[in-house]
Amino acid sequence: MEVAGYRFKRSDLRIGDRLPGISAFMRIRNGEDFLELTIRSHIAFFDEIVAVYNQCTDSTAEILMRLQAEFGPEKLRIFHYVDRVFPPGSDDHSKTPADSPNSLVNYYNFALAATRFTHATKLDDDHLAIPNVLQRVTDQIRDQSSRQQSMLCFSGLNLFPTPNEMSLCRRDPISGGGDIGFFRVTDDTYFTRDRRFEKFHRGGIPRRFAGYLYWHLKYLKPEMGFANYELQNYQGSRYAQRKYRLLADEFPTIPLRELAQKKGRQTLSGLKSLFSEKQSLLCKRDQAICEAFPYDTCDEALRHTVSPHMLNLFRETLKTHSQRG
């Protein structure tokens, strides 16, 4: 379904019409690298995945159509958001009103409004699910759906390639710091504009850390996942600076065991957590690494946290990338 000229209104969330269950909504631009892996590893845990794609010049649309034919149009619902969307970090984004069809915020709000179930979460096209933890969290939401009073935030570890094995990105080892999670959709849950990017307005509900639910594959993409920021046109973008620092880093990776030990020794964040809800969430997130990943290496952790079938698909995908590149 093509969508053009859309402007979000909070009434579009249709709170009274929502069905019991959980929706995941995706916003995709040139996501072919890990899109199929992401959908296959997550789709069993949701009542629907709403996939909205924009400005794709790769095989994203073809992958979505093929998977929809397999899983069905009610399980995987596809929308083509036609209008040009300015990337986060760009000057155009900072100047564009939140309800403009060209706004990243409006685009995100369309994806959220297209969902049909009482609970929702954002899903990126480079997430490899950790199924046992995802199952536990989604079961908890279904068991307590009418009583859920918090946003169940979750995180992932940012994989980074090395010549012989997987490691973690030293400068950015953890993805998700309270910005992504499961929430009950209400009139007060929607996205708003920040001059840098979109921000989620959660209507004052508290946040609680629910666990590590995925491996983040962004840095395994071509250009380390920065291609969609259009850095050639927006060289002053905060993401251009981030990419430059990563490329200039003499030691770009950190082993899993070292990260767990480092986060386990931190005490300052624990003190800060006494005064800040977000710092409390980040402290719990960091402290959970040792328990969630009691392994020496990322390769060992992947073998224990991802199903053999999905791990094989992941390896085949990486092999295809290396042959293509």
State the total domains in the chain: 1
Q: Are strands 127-129 and 207-216 parallel, antiparallel or unpaired?
A: antiparallel
User: At 120, is the secondary structure helix, strand, or coil?
Assistant: strand
Helix (H) and strand (E) counts in the chain: 12, 14
pTM score, whole prediction: 0.94
Reported as a single tens digit per residue, the pLDDT across 266-298 is 655 555 656 688 888 999 999 999 999 999 999
Reported as a single tens digit per residue, the pLDDT across 160-182 is 988 888 999 999 999 999 999 99
119 within 8 A of 148, measured Cβ to Cβ? yes
Low-confidence ranges of the chain (pLDDT < 70): 145-148, 266-275, 323-325
User: At 306, is the secondary structure helix, strand, or coil?
Assistant: coil
pLDDT at position 288? 94
Reported as a single tens digit per residue, the pLDDT across 232-260 is 999 989 999 999 999 899 989 999 999 99
Q: What are phi and psi of 238, to 5 degrees?
A: -60, -25
Q: Which domain holds residue 223?
A: 2-324
Q: What are phi and psi of 159, to 5 degrees?
A: -65, 145
pLDDT at position 277? 84
DSSP state of 87: P
293 within 8 A of 254, measured Cβ to Cβ? no
Question: CA-CA distance, 41 to 45, in Å (whole number)?
Answer: 9
User: At 191, is the secondary structure helix, strand, or coil?
Assistant: strand
Return all residues near 24 (Cβ < 8 A) that are at least 6 apart: 42, 46, 48, 49, 50, 120, 121, 122, 123
pLDDT at position 201? 95
Q: Which of 12, 59, 18 is nearest to 35 (CA)?
A: 59
